[in-house]
Each structure stands twice: as structure tokens, then as C-alpha cells.
Structure 1
Amino acid sequence: MSHLPPSRHSFGESVLAFDVGGTDIKAALQDNDGVFHSLQRVPTPRDAASPGEAIIREVSGLARGYVREFPQASVRALGFVVPGLVDEQAGIGIVAANLGWRNFPFARRLREENGMLPVAFGHDVGLAGEAEMHVGAGRGLRDAVVLIIGTGIAGAVFCDGRRVRAGGFAGEIGHSPVPSGTQCACGAYGCLETVGSAGAIVRRYNERTGNRATGAEAVLRAARAGEQAAREVWDQAVAALAEGICQLAAVLGTEAVILGGGLSQAGDELTGPLVRAVDSRLSFHRRPDIRVSTLGQDAGLMGAALHARGMLGEPA
């Protein structure tokens, strides 16, 4: 992120980028050189009566703040990504179970609240995946899956250089079944994210031990220290993830699986055993390269900015 005083920086044609998450909203202005300025994180507002409008009010306030802070920047478009099921072409958030909206017209409302500024709307993981493919760990690949592992698991699937969308339903890898899966909050039984997500690792460890670990990192530390319950939970998560990746290899012939989200920060302690587990399960299949995101927590924000620039006819 840039730390130059606004008066000493040439911004050119700029875009605003917003990444709405379950906990916070990330926001930044991106200048004509692709540099982000004034990254902000604010709590995601909650309003049970009007959840979509609460997001619109917060984002529009942030947008006006950027225009005031950077008067010399020519803001040309706004990139905006949200979780859940989305209709990217219509600009509608179909449903977000954790945040409460249904069939909310985000793109239209943002245009109305921001002087009809063009709005590039998309799915958070889908656009994070596109950013990873264009400027991150997926550069040069045509067949890859970007797998975001956090509280849950979601993915962006790329085949022959294009993201598979399937009306917003593609990429729900966390809800593919694995033999070790348990009852899932989605209503199905056996979902990958009930074992392999960071949230599942914490929940399963605490249920077994009565402890109150607050993150998967704490479980991994306990496993390193030789605690059997922690090691079992971690190993079972890796095995479940390997099962999911092998399904991707068999169905898609993917060249690489790029890991993002909080669990990817475990580095070699995740990728090492995951590579070995995947390799042991495959035969004639293309063995996908297991990589870690290079964009990290800013992948969604970068995806929003690239989507906005694509709307203006600039190369993504």
C-alpha cells in the first residue's frame, strides 16, 4: 500500500475497490499504476431489517471519503465483491446466509448512491481467484482451482483459461462430500468443510479436548508440541482436503490448486503433507501443483479493482 502523501502522487484514472466479508469490509483506492492507497478495514454493518441497505450506506460513505481524501484522483469506476450466491451480470446478491440479504440489487443501489458511477459487481472468491490467476500464484496457468480455506471452504474453478460460473453455483468445493464429513450447517451431511476448514479444525479440537482454542493456528501449535488430539484433528483435515483435491484432479484435470485463506498461512506444515496425501491417492491423473496464494488477504480487493478496470475496457 502506498504511503506517499496524496499531494505528491500522480493518480491518473483510479478505481475504488470494496471486499465485503462476514466480519469486515476492506476498501482501498487503486491508482492508474495499480497501486493501492489508504487501505481500510471497517466492521461489516448488520441490520436484520435491511441488510443490503446497511452495506450500501457503509460503502457509499467510504467512497465519498476517498473522493475527499484524493481530490486529484479521477475515480472512474467502483469494484465491489460480496460472499454468497450472486448473479454477476444482473448485479444481484441472491443470498448470503451469514449476512442476511436475498435478491438484493447491489450494483443498481451503488450506482444510485454514487452519482451513477459504473459498478463492477462480483463474487468475492470468484474475483479473488481471477486476481490470483492474473497477477498472483496462478499466472501462466489455464486449468487451476483457487481454494480459499477459512471458516468455511470455497473455490474458484478455471478451465481452459476461463472461470466456470454455472449461474453462481460453481466452486462450492467445501460442500462436496468426503467420507469423514459430518453434519453441515448447509443442511447436508458429509461436506468437506466440516472436517477440512479452519473453523472445523477449531471446533473438532475443542469438542474432543474441552479446550477453548480460538484459531487453527493454536491447534497446529498443540500438534507440534505432541498433543495427540490436536495431531489427529490436523491430520484428518489434511486427509479430507486431499480427498477434495483428488476429486478436482479426476474431474477437471487441474494443473494447480492455489490455497488461500487463513489456513494457507500454515505453509509447509499444510502443503507438505497435503502433497504427499494427494500423490498417494492418484494414479494416471495429472498431479496438481499445490501452491499458496501470493495475494493473501488482499486477493478479493485486487479482484474487485481488476473487475472495475475491466469494465472500463482496460486489460485485467
Structure 2
Amino acid sequence: MQNDLVAALDIGGTKIAGALVDGTGRLLARAQRPTPAREDGDTVMAAVAAVLGELAQDARWSAASAVGIGSAGPVDASAGTVSPVNVPGWRDYPLVDRVREVAGGLPVTLVGDGVAMTAAEHWRGAARGHTNALCMVVSTGVGGGLVLNGRLHPGPTGNAGHIGHISVDLDGDACPCGARGCVERIASGPNIARRALENGWLPGPDGDATAAAVARAATAGDALAQASFDRAAQALAAGIAATATLVEIDVAVIGGGVAAAGEVLFAPLRRALGNYATLSFVQELAVRPAQTGTDAGLIGAAAAAWTPSGAVRESAAEPTAS
């Protein structure tokens, strides 16, 4: 098993990353291109092909047995198509077929990026050893995935666990998905920054108005900045508690750029969770930061390629990145 090798793709609105990944989770070769997100679908696919082409130049490519893809969504794993919100040129785009052609006919497994992150964290990260878990990416958007009864649970289309579009404020702001008061509309990085600015927070002299800048201000004691993170934490807590109550998860793992704020996010999140996760069977729910970092999408896409049925891949060795 430790000699297995697959190609992995992590496709988002900003970058397309690829790697050859072995059976211990090590990334043996890497390639990356910017995502031409505002171009037509074939131009975006050309960037994917360029990443695969660079990986194919590695002498180890011939040992690859499959390709795993973690893509921004929505995805439809049953049809092999993707329609990422932030890549307008891809609507019902036949990504699996196109990647299979470029990869010389190798088997291809497609999952959403939240599911890929979940596979990575359950295999190599903070959810390892847990039978029932929710793993979340909180960044430009908010996505997630589930492990139930020890198995990855992507759902029929690969979108199960998409917690970012649970409504936690029934009369809240309209979300681009068409609903109102979604977790993403409150807790994503751009919305943390937007709310802080609307409430009177002022960026520093450099004009940086990102969620990272809001986090730095909150760490320094800025009450308006902290209030925006507190509101994001409340929304995340409500969504996590609802999920836990529904399917009895025992750990929630949070990664992504917003999670890098550390205790600015996690301290109010744990407090708020106590107000929502009140039933006896969810009171011990743990919240942990993710451990697989920026490689989560690649590690998870590889895990999905090895175990498309959802079974969890086990390995004793710790992964390292080359």
C-alpha cells in the first residue's frame, strides 16, 4: 500500500494545484497554475491539462494508478461534472471525462473540495481516529464534508456536508446561492471583512481590509474587529450544532484561511457552541483546528482516488511534503 501512487488535483477559483501522492500521504512532485477563472471553460481546462502535463514529465508518473480531483463546487460526482460558483466558464462541465482524456485513460474520482479536505483530515489530520466527524473549510467560502460510521460520506453527487449553505439567520442577508442567512454569508473571510467595515472598523495605513487584517486588529484588542469574528463564530457554532444534532458527530475540524486567526475565532466559537449544542448527546462535541494545511485538497483528492467507495485509508507513517 505504501508504494501506491496517484495523481491528485485541487481545483479552486484562485489556483489549480497538482501532485503525485504516495500511499503514506507524501507529495512527491508538485505543479501549479493560476486559475483563469474569468475565461471560458476550455481555457480553464487548458490550465488543468498544463498541471497534469507537468506532473507527467516526472519519471514516477508511469506508476500512477488513478487521478483524484477535489474541486470547488457544486460538483456532480455521479455525472462527472462541475459548476463552481467562482468559475463561470464551467457550468455542468464534463471535468472527469476531460481529465481522463488528458491522463491517458486513468480512472478518475471527483469530489467537492470540502469532501477532499474531510478525507485528508480523517486520514492524516485532526479527525483521525474519529468515527463521525464534520470537517470544514472556512475561507473565501465555507464548505465541508462528513465522515459517518468511519466512512467518508460524500453523498450521491459529492456535496454532502456543504454546511456553508445551511441557513442560520432566517431573515438574514441574501446569499448568492439564493437563500438567506447562510453560514457562508456570515462566516466567510470576505463577509467577516465586509461586516467589520460596515460597523465602522478602519483598516490600517496599508489599507488592508481582508479578514486576516481584521483578525490582526482583533488580536490587538480592536472591539469592532472582534465583534465581526464573534458573529462569524456564532454562525459557525449554529451550523455545527445543527449538524451534530442531526447525525451525531463527535468532532468538528475547521481549516482554511479564516481558521488561521486562531483563538480570535476558536475561543468565541467554543463559547457559542455551548449555547447551541445543548442536548446530552452533543454536549461533548469537540472543535479542533485542521492539521493538513494548504495540502489538504491534494491529500484528500488522493485519498478519494484510492477509496472511491468511501472507506477510510489507513497508514502508520506521517506524511511529509517535498
Secondary structure at the aligned position of 1:102 is classed as coil
**Number of the residue aligned with 2:43:** 54
1:36 aligns with 2:27: yes
Identity percentage over the alignment? 34
1:86 aligns with 2:75: yes
Q: What does the per-residue CA deviation read over 1:159-207, in whole Å, with 9 as the maximum and x for residues that have no partner?
A: 2223151534432212212238422222222112222222211111123
1:140 to 129, 145, 148: 129
Paired with 2:3 and 2:217, the residues of 1 have a C-alpha distance of: 50
**Number of the residue aligned with 1:284:** 280
1:17 aligns with 2:4: no
Q: AA paired with 2:291?
A: T
Structure ID, larger Rg:
1
Paired with 1:72 and 1:246, the residues of 2 have a C-alpha distance of: 43
CA contact (8 A) 2:14 2:37 kept: no
Secondary structure at the aligned position of 1:76 is classed as coil
CA contact (8 A) 1:153 1:197 kept: yes
Give me the TM-score of the superposition, normalised by structure 1.
Answer: 0.86
**Number of the residue aligned with 2:317:** none
Q: CA deviation at 1:115?
A: 1.8
In structure 2, the CA distance between the partners of 1:188 and 1:160, relative to structure 1 (3 Å rule), is same
1:157 to 140, 146, 155: 146
Q: CA deviation at 1:44?
A: 0.7
In structure 2, the CA distance between the partners of 1:18 and 1:232, relative to structure 1 (3 Å rule), is same
Paired with 1:233 and 1:32, the residues of 2 have a C-alpha distance of: 41
1:97 aligns with 2:85: yes
**Number of the residue aligned with 2:18:** 27
Q: CA deviation at 1:270?
A: 2.0
Higher relative contact order (CA 8 A, sep 6+): 2
Q: CA deviation at 1:77?
A: 1.9
In structure 2, the CA distance between the partners of 1:174 and 1:31, relative to structure 1 (3 Å rule), is closer
Q: What does the per-residue CA deviation read over 1:89-111, in whole Å, with 9 as the maximum and x for residues that have no partner?
A: 33222x22210212221111112
Secondary structure at the aligned position of 2:175 is classed as coil
The number of residue pairs the alignment matches comes to 303
In structure 2, the CA distance between the partners of 1:235 and 1:47, relative to structure 1 (3 Å rule), is closer
**Number of the residue aligned with 1:298:** 295
Paired with 1:229 and 1:134, the residues of 2 have a C-alpha distance of: 38
**Number of the residue aligned with 2:161:** 171
Q: CA deviation at 1:261?
A: 0.8
Q: AA paired with 2:290?
A: S
Q: CA deviation at 1:231?
A: 2.2
Give me the TM-score of the superposition, normalised by structure 2.
Answer: 0.85
Q: CA deviation at 1:71?
A: 5.3
